[in-house]
A and B are shown apart, each in its own frame.
Chain A
Amino acid sequence: MANFRTSRRNLLKGAGAGIVALGTPHIFTRNAWANQFCNDPGSGKIVFGFNVPQTGTYAEEGLEQLKGYELAIKHINGEGDGGLLKTMKPLALKGNGVLGRKVDYVTGDTQTNTDAARDGARRMIERDGAIMVTGCVTTGEAVAQQSLCQEMGVIYMSGLTHGNDTTGKDKRRYGFRHFFNGYQSGVAIAPILAAEYGKERRAYHLTADYNWGWTQEESIKNATEALGWETVAAVRTPLGLGDYSQYLTPVLNSGADLLILNHYGHDMVNSLPQAVQFGLRERQANGKNFEIVVPMFSELMAVGAGDAVKGIIGTQNWNWQLDDEGSKTFTKSYGEAYGAPPSQSAHTGYVQAILYADAVERAGTFYPPEVIKALEGFEFDGMGNGQTLYRDTDHQCFKEVLVVRGNESPSSRFDVLNVIGKTPREEVIYDPSIFGGELGPYEPNQC
């Protein structure tokens, strides 16, 4: 009942403030007056919106994520083997849908484009009545969708987004991220790099020239310089270049003995093999073997880079080869459904959908401010990443970060990456104020 009162008071306040909310021809929108909040399912269908790239260069990553979401829906509705509902602790979901009702879903194609992503999210919210929107493979898509969802008063659970901005400068009250970020990658990879490559290294950065690349470069630079490494140069490369030769040749005689590729997706798929072709890994510099590091990995990127990825160190959010109960359960459940082990993209999507559903169950209502409060500061375990905290101050998940290495002799295209270390959660926690930004209000703005 408390929710009802709060929201009605706000409605009145809004009406009093001016014609803002009521002046618009709301007669056209469905259930205009019954709505206490955007897309209140009332007694209608409960719809989740899955918005991922299905065309364009990141289609594969997006389709993997979509499979994760579809599996999550099955498990929430009590179909299939229940997946992580068996291992998640604490768990409020009962395997009979959310609040006792079955969940439905709609899908969209973001084309890895911020405009298309927002169009898709608006369709889900305005036409399909989605109560929650989720999915993305880039930080651009994540930020675009979560700022839209904030304005519409619909919760957005981001998918694969690694830039610091999503829960930093551009964080939103209605946006939540399970995936790790560039800062955590830097902190997590540093001790392993020190152990593998020593504390006296001269690093050369090649960085994709846009927001994500810059934040990643900064994070890794800070973390490695704290180790005592020296940064020889940090060179920016245009996005989607294809041929990186003109940036790779200067590395050869720069005096650096380690190359850090702050590239993601196809940038990395092209730059890493080309760097290997230039003979970087057979070189000696400063009396050491020349090494290459790719701070952020995904399985599909590793497959795309082929042999070049062997022995390369990077970080991951999750890997199906982990041997905790949650990871094993999810891998089995996903494998039985689709015939292949899940990627981290599928995992983060799956977990996000479950976490939202569980938060609704705990809040006892779909009313977003209550669901947000249920997610904020939520501690859980058994989802494959160990003990995890959804921090209330920036909506970032804190959990172990995996350090992985390209498998020297993979037995199939599924085990191209091996887990070589886990950096505990305490070490990757940071002060949220370093990135600025503000979450904004709980109360939905409008629909």
Chain B
Amino acid sequence: MFSLSRKDLLALAIFTVVVLTMPVWLAPFGAAYPGLMQKFAIYAIFAIGFNILFGLTGYLSFGHAAFIGVGSYTTVWSFKLLTMDILPAMVLAVVVTGVFALVIGYFSLRRTGIYFSILTLAFAQMSYSLAYSVLTPITNGETGLLLARDDPRYLDALLGAQANVAGLPQPTLLGSSVAGYAGFYLCAVILILTFFLSQKVFASPFGMALRGIKSNQTRMNYTGFNTKPYMLAAFVISGMIAGLAGGLLSITDPLAGAERMRWTESGNVVLMTILGGVGTLFGPVIGAWLIKYFENIFSAINTNMLNTAFSFLPDGVQSFVVTVLSKFVGEGWHLTLGLMFVLIVVFLPGGLVEGFHRFMARLKRRSAAPERVSSVQPAE
């Protein structure tokens, strides 16, 4: 059950090393702090889950942010009502999101293509609007659902495990804190497990069936294959992973806001997946990292920092360089992001991973070409 092909095993090993050593190799990029690395891990989980649906079946859900939102709210409520331990919170987040995904999936999967996309979008937007307004007693609307010191926490109270810190209680894993780096390693381990899960799904007969649906659902149906349960299963799994990601967002930072469910967030995960490469194992992860990196690091560069960085240049050149560059960082980071989207899709068709493969293949062909010529020559 846990066996993998050699190639997959190697990929998993590489992935594990890359993820666990993030604090080291991200440091030169200015991204090696727990807050961002947690987000890297969580959004990678989200994108991997999304890719199981979109990459394998080709069904483009435009409402996955709703699952992140539901997972987040469930987790915070578990902290408020049950216990500050994260295990019940995570389990609840996954289960509740699973049920939610089952309902949405049941209806949305009655349609295909763009009709499916708009159905998922509509469900998610309804969730967002209601969470922001009418459902405020449950979601706390604009200001987001926060913990409070006097929350009941029945389970903790029952076990007499009320933390007696002065401030707000912190989420814990069996008594140990999950703030800062501990939180990152928690997310990292779950990311690796999710990656493993996605490898298993990709290699399984289930995954093959999903691919079959992608290439020709009608033909699958004609061969007497009932695709419905397979699609629904993929949708629910994908939703549950998103719910888990949402739960982790609340675990590492116990606040759940409605904006997490907006269509722009759904769009973000679509972009992450496409940017990295739809249907590839690594693609969504890389896409997620890239977008989060721009959002957090590029946006924080200001002219002050640029001036310091280019202070070695002569005055006139320095101010010119800084003026030009400042259009692309800080308040202009969106411009860089947009340009990157266009350039990547134009020059690396299929996303970063696919583009990389094609590039390598071309290199190989080029280096292989002279050999063939030389092997032909003696025959002349």
Binding site for B on A (CB under 8 A): 14, 17-21, 23-26, 28-29, 54-55, 59, 63, 105-109, 113-116, 118-120, 122-123, 125-127, 138-140, 143-144, 147-148, 150-151, 163, 165, 170, 209-212, 236, 238-239, 438, 440-441, 443, 445-447
With A14-B165, A20-B163, A210-B141 already in contact, 15 other A-B pairs whose C-beta atoms are closer than 8 Å: A24-B182, A115-B260, A119-B295, A122-B33, A122-B35, A126-B33, A127-B35, A127-B36, A170-B143, A209-B134, A236-B133, A238-B129, A440-B167, A445-B165, A445-B168
Within 8 Å by CB of A23, from B33, B36, B129, B176, lies: B176
- Looking at the assembled complex, report how far the CB atom of A126 sits from the nearest CB atom of chain B, in whole angstroms: 4
Q: How far apart are the CA atoms of A170 and B148 in the complex, in Å? A: 9
Give complex CA distance A109, B294 in Å. 11
Contact B300 A109 (CB under 8 A): yes
A148 partner residues in chain B, CB cutoff 8 A: 253, 255
The 10 A-B residue pairs whose C-beta atoms are closest, nearest first, are A122-B35, A54-B331, A441-B166, A109-B299, A126-B33, A114-B257, A127-B33, A445-B167, A143-B143, A209-B133
Residues of chain A with a CB closer than 8 A to B296's CB: 119-120, 123
The complex places the Cα of A147 from the Cα of B141 at a distance, in Å, of 16
CA distance A236 to B136 in the complex (A): 14
How close is A52's CB to chain B, nearest CB, in angstroms?
10
- Neighbouring A residues of B334 by C-beta, 8 Å: 55
Interface string of B325-341 (1 = CB under 8 A from A): 00000110110000000
The answer to whether A139 touches B181, judged by C-beta atoms less than 8 angstroms apart, is no
Bound complex: CA A426 to CA B81 (Å):
41
Decide yes or no: A143 and B144 within 8 Å by CB, A114-B259, A115-B257, A445-B165 being known contacts. yes
Closest residue of chain A to B35, judged by CB? A122
Q: In the complex the two chains form, is A170's CB within 8 Å of B167's CB?
A: no
- Min C-beta distance of B69 to chain A, whole Å: 11
Q: Is the CB of B35 within 8 A of A126?
A: yes
C-alpha spacing A109/B299, complex, angstroms: 6
**Interface pair A24/B23, CB less than 8 Å apart:** no
Chain A CB within 8 A of B112 CB: no
Q: Which residues of B contact A441 (CB under 8 A)?
A: 166-167
Task: For B260, give the chain A residue with the smallest CB separation.
Answer: A115
Which residues of the other chain, A, contact B166 by a CB distance below 8 angstroms? 440-441, 443, 445
B142 adjacent to A126 (CB under 8 Å): no
**Binary CB contact string for chain B from 27 to 51 against chain A (1 if under 8 A, 0 otherwise):** 0001011111001000000000000
Chain B residues positioned under 8 Å from A440 (CB to CB): 149, 166-168
A143 to B148, CA, bound (A): 13
Q: A123, B35: Cβ atoms under 8 Å?
A: yes
19 contacts between A and B (CB under 8 A): A17-B165, A24-B182, A55-B333, A113-B259, A116-B295, A119-B295, A122-B33, A122-B35, A123-B35, A127-B30, A127-B33, A138-B142, A140-B142, A144-B143, A151-B168, A210-B141, A238-B129, A438-B149, A445-B170
Set of chain A residues within 8 Å of B133, measured between Cβ atoms = 209-210, 236, 238-239
CB contacts under 8 Å to A, within B229-252, are 249
Minimum C-beta distance from A29 to chain B (A): 7
For the complex, give the distance between the alpha carbons of A364 and B319 in Å.
38
Q: Are B143 and A140 in contact (CB under 8 A)?
A: yes
- Cα-based distance from A373 to B296 in the complex (angstroms): 33
A447 to B35, CA, bound (A): 11
For A115, the chain B residues whose CB sits under 8 A away are 249, 257, 259-260
Contacts of A28 in B (CB 8 A): 23, 181
Interface contact A140-B300, CB-CB below 8 Å: no
Q: Once bound together, how far apart are the Cα atoms of A105 and B305, in whole Å?
A: 10
> Nearest CB to that of B167 among chain A residues?
A445
Q: Given A143-B146, A144-B255, A29 and B260 touching (CB < 8 A)?
A: no
Contacts of A118 in B (CB 8 A): 253, 255
| Chain B residues positioned under 8 Å from A23 (CB to CB) | 176-177, 182
Q: Which residues of the partner chain B approach A59 to less than 8 Å between Cβ atoms?
A: 331
- Name the CB-closest residue of B to A22: B177
Cβ–Cβ < 8 Å partners of A25 in chain B = 181-182, 185
Report the separation of the CA atoms of residues A212 and B253 in the bound assembly, to the nearest whole angstrom: 23
Secondary structure of the A side of the interface? Answer: mixed
Nearest CB on A from B266, distance (A): 14
The CB with the most chain A CB atoms within 10 A, among B30, B33, B300, is that of: B300
Distance A139 CA – B177 CA, assembled complex (angstroms): 29
Complexed CA–CA distance, A441 and B165 (Å): 10
State in angstroms the CA–CA spacing of A419 and B101 once bound together.
54
Query: What string of 1s and 0s marks CB contacts (under 8 Å) between B300-324 and chain A?
Result: 1010110000000000000000000
Nearest residue (CB) in A for B132 is: A210
Query: Closest A-chain residue to B292, C-beta based?
Result: A119
- Check A20 against B176 for contact (C-beta < 8 Å): yes
- A24-B179, A29-B180 known; A170+B255 contact, CB < 8 A: no
Q: How far is the CA of A106 from the CA of B34 in the complex (A)?
A: 18
Contact residues, B154-197 vs A (CB, 8 A): 163-168, 170, 172, 175-177, 179-182, 185
A107:B300 contact, CB within 8 angstroms: yes
| Cα–Cα, bound, A63→B164 (Å) | 42
Residue ID in chain B nearest A10 by CB atoms: B166
B134 nearest CB neighbor, chain A only: A209
- Name the interface residues of B123-151: CB closer than 8 Å to any CB of A: 129, 132-134, 136, 140-144, 146, 149
Q: When the two chains form the complex, which single residue of B36, B170, B299 contacts A20, counting CB atoms closer than 8 Å? A: B170
In the complex, what residues of B have CB within 8 A of residue A119's CB?
35-36, 39, 295-296
On whether the beta carbons of B180 and A140 are closer than 8 Å, the reply is no
CA gap between A272 and B295 in the complex, in Å: 34
Q: Hey, which chain A residues are within 8 Å of B179, CB to CB?
A: 24, 446
Q: Known interface pairs A108-B300, A113-B259, A147-B146. Does A211 touch B136 (Cβ–Cβ under 8 Å)?
A: yes
| CB nearest neighbor in A for B295 | A116
Q: In the complex, are the beta carbons of A109 and B331 less than 8 A apart?
A: yes
Q: How far is the CA of A115 from the CA of B302 in the complex (A)?
A: 21
Contact B333 A109 (CB under 8 A): yes
Chain B residue at smallest Cβ distance from A109 = B299
With contacts A123-B35, A143-B144, A440-B167 known, is A239 near B132, CB below 8 A?
Answer: yes
Give Cα distance in the complex from A63 to B330, angstroms.
11
Bound complex: CA A122 to CA B333 (Å): 19
Distance A72 CA – B334 CA, assembled complex (angstroms): 27
In the complex, A377 Cα to B253 Cα: how many Å? 31
B165 → A minimal CB distance (Å): 7
Q: Which residues of B contact A120 (CB under 8 A)?
A: 296, 299-300
Instruction: Let me know if A139 and B182 touch, CB within 8 A.
Output: no
Kindly list chain A residues whose C-beta atoms are within 8 Å of the C-beta of B331.
54-55, 59, 63, 109
CA distance A148 to B141 in the complex (A): 17
Inter-chain contacts of A138 with B (CB < 8 A):
142
Cα distance A139–B140 in the bound complex, in angstroms: 13
Chain B residues whose CB sits within 8 angstroms of the CB of A443 once the complex forms: 166-167
Contacts A28-B181, A54-B330, A440-B149 given; indicate if A114 touches B36 (C-beta within 8 A): no
Complex CA–CA separation, A23 to B39 (angstroms): 22
Bound complex: CA A246 to CA B141 (Å): 24
Within the complex, the shortest CB–CB distance from B326 to chain A, in Å, comes to: 12
Minimum distance in angstroms from A108 CB to a CB of chain B: 5
The CA-CA distance from A148 to B168 in the complex, in Å, is: 11
Alpha-carbon separation in the docked complex, A150 to B295 (Å): 24
Q: How far is the CA of A364 from the CA of B205 in the complex (A)?
A: 68
Query: How long is the Cα–Cα vector from A63 to B149 in the complex, in angstroms?
Result: 35
- Bound complex: CA of A185 vs CA of B120, how far in Å? 41
| Residues of chain A within 8 A of B30, CB atoms compared | 127
Contact between A107 and B330, CB atoms less than 8 A apart: yes
- A165 touching B330 in the complex, CB below 8 Å, given contacts A210-B133, A440-B168, A445-B168: no
